[in-house]
Structure 1
Amino acid sequence: RLLAQLLADPPGNLLLIFARRTDVAVGNAMPTLPATLRSTTLTLRPLAVGAVAELIGERYHVGPEQALPLAGLVHEKTAGNPFFINQILRAMVEDQLFNFDTQAMRWSWCLQAVARHRYADNVADLMIHRLTRLPAAQRDVLRVASAAGNRCDDGLLHQVLAEPPGEPLKALIAAGFLLPGQKGLGFAHDRVMEAAYQLTPIPERASLHGQIAQAMLGAWPEHLHEVLFELAHQLQSADPCGFAANDREVFLQLLCEAASRTRDSGAFAQAVSYLHTADQLLNHGGTLQSRASHGFAIACMAAECDMQLSRMSAAEAQVGVCRQRARTPLDQ
C-alpha cells in the first residue's frame, strides 16, 4: 500500500531500489509503474559455466584449465544458482574433497571423487545437511536466532540458552552463517535462516517461541514498545498455555496494543490475527480479572475489524461475544 501511494505521486528526488523473489508466491501483485516514472529492471540470471570457472579460479587460485572441469560439475548440480554454488563449494571443503598443498601453496581436487560424491538435490537440503553437522552449541544458537527473527542479539541469546553463546556465536559469524549488525544478528541468506529453523522439531517450536517471548520481556523491559510487533509474532507462534499469570497479563496488553496500531494503519486482517492470539491467551489460563479487563475490548475491536473487511458473519459473531462479555449498561 505504501509503495502504491509513492508510485501514484512520486517526489522528484526519490530513488527507490527494491528486490523481489519471483520463485515465492506473494499475496499482493506488483504495483504497475506509471509511464512517466523512469525505471530500470535488472533480472538476476543463473551464472554460466564460464562465470563459475572464474569464481573457482579466483577463490582457489587455479588457472582456467583446472577450474573449468570442476565448474562444469558444480554448474550441473546447482543450475548456476550463486548461493547454491557457494554452499556446495564450502561443503566440498568440509567433506575433504579439496586438499591444500602446502608445498605448492595451492588447492587441488579429484574430479572423479567430486562426481561420485552425493549432494543434496536443492540448496535447502544442502543447508540442513551442513547445519546438522555443526556442534550442538552452535546449532542451538542458530535455532534461537532463526526463531527470533530480526531482533536477536547477544542479550536475547543469553536469556534463552542454557550455556553462554560466546564461542559458538563467534564460530558461526566466522563461518559466515550469521552476520552482526546494528540491530542485532542477521543471517547471511534466507536459505540459511530457513534451514536453521528446520533444526527445531515441529512439536518443539511453539515452546521455543514462548521462551523467546519471555526472554524479550527480560532482555528489553524498557524497550518493549519498540519491539512490539516482533514480540507479537513470537506470541502468535507460541503455546498459549505456557505462560505465568504475570507474563500473560503483560502479553495481553501488548497484543491489544499491536492490534490497535495495525487497525489504525488499515491492516485489519493483521489486527484480527493479533486479537485471535490475545483471545487464546485469555481462554487458556486467563484470570477473572484479565477476562473482565480485556475480554470485551478484544471482541469489540475484532468485530470492528471484521466489518472493515466485509466479513459480516464473523462480525456478527463477535458482536454476540461482546454482549456476553459486557460488564456495564454502557458496554451493552
Structure 2
Amino acid sequence: MRILVAMSGGVDSSVVAGLLAEEGHEVVGATLQLYDHGAAIQKKGACCAGQDIHDARDVADRLGIPHYVLDREQVFRREVIGDFADSYARGETPIPCIRCNQTVKFRDLVALARDLGCEALATGHYARRVEGANGAELHRAADPARDQSYFLAATTRDQLAFARFPLGGYADKAAVRAVAARLGLRVADKPDSQDICFVPEGRYDDLVAKLRPEATAPGELVHADGRVLGTHRGIARYTVGQGRGLGEASWDGDERLYVAGVDAGKRRIVVAPRGSLETGEAVAGEMNWLIDPPAAPLRCQAKLRAREAPRDATVTWDAAAGLARIALDVPGIVAPGQACVLYDGDRVLGGGFLRGRGSVDTGRAAA
C-alpha cells in the first residue's frame, strides 16, 4: 500500500516508517510543525518542532522515503493551545493530547493522506486496531504500561478505519528501540517526550497567565460547607483532587483538604476532605462513539483519568442532550475537562469529556 506515516521525530514513529518500508509498502513521511522552528529547537521534552523535524527528515533520508513538513502552527495554537487555556479559564482540567489527536493529527493528516492517494495513515501510538464483525475496532496495546488507547478515544470510526498502529502489539519499548537500532536509525536511544509538549518545563500556569490572565486572578478558598478559609492564586493553578498549594486551606483541624470544585464565575476554589470528593455519578459530553450509540443502559468500564484503572459502570446515552450519564459501581473523583473513556475489556467503545464543577455538592460554597 501507499501509506502516510506521521513522523514526530521520535523513535516510535521512526520505527513505524522503517517497518512499513521494510515490508515493501510505499511509505510517505509527514511531520507537523507546531511551533516556531527557531524558538523551539532547544526545547527539551517537546515534539513536532526544531530538532525533532531534523530527526524525522534524517530518518526519512536513511529509509529513502519522501518527507514533508506541514506548517500547522496557527491551527495548533487555536485549537489545542487556545482550547487548553480556555478550559482552565472555565475552571476545568484540559487534556490537550486528545485535542491534538482529534484535530491537527488525525483530522488533518487523514485529509492529507487521502489527497496524496494513500490507502492508510500510520502512527506510532501504542494501541491496536482490530478488524471486527462491524469494521475497525480500537483496542488497548499489548503493553499496558504504554497503552495510549485512552488518548485516541476521540478518533472517529471513519478515521479508525483508515488508521494503522504497527506498535500496538509490541511487548515493551525496549523491543521497539531494538528495531530502531537494527534499522540503523540514529533516534534509537532518543529520550521520550515528557510533559505537555507545548509547555515542556511543566509551567502551564505561566502559559495560561499570558493567554487568559483572568484565570490567574486571586479569589477565595472556600470549604464545601461555606466557610471562607483563605485566598488562592488563580483558578488556573488548581484542579479537582489537588492537595498541594492550598496554603492556609490545606487543613481543617486535623483533616487534610483537597480541591473539590472550581467555580470560575465567582473565582472560587472549593475544598473538602478527600472522602467527600468521590462520587458515583458522572456526565460526559462531546461523545465520540466507536460503536452504535446504545439504546439501553450499557454495562462497561469507565476510565476517568489517564493514569487510573477503568472501573465498572452503567452508561445511559441521552441522545437528546448529547450526554452520557455514567453510574460508577465504585465511586471516583470526577475532574471536569478530563476525558471519560468507555471500555469493554480491551476494546474502546467511545469517549467524551467530563462535565460539571467537580465531585461534591458545592451549593453552599457557591452561595
Interval of TM-score (by shorter of Structure 1 and Structure 2): under 0.3
Richer in helix (by share): 1
After TM superposition, the score normalised by the length of structure 2 is: 0.26
Richer in strand (by share): 2
After TM superposition, the score normalised by the length of structure 1 is: 0.28
When Rg is computed on C-alpha atoms for both structures, the one with the higher figure is 1
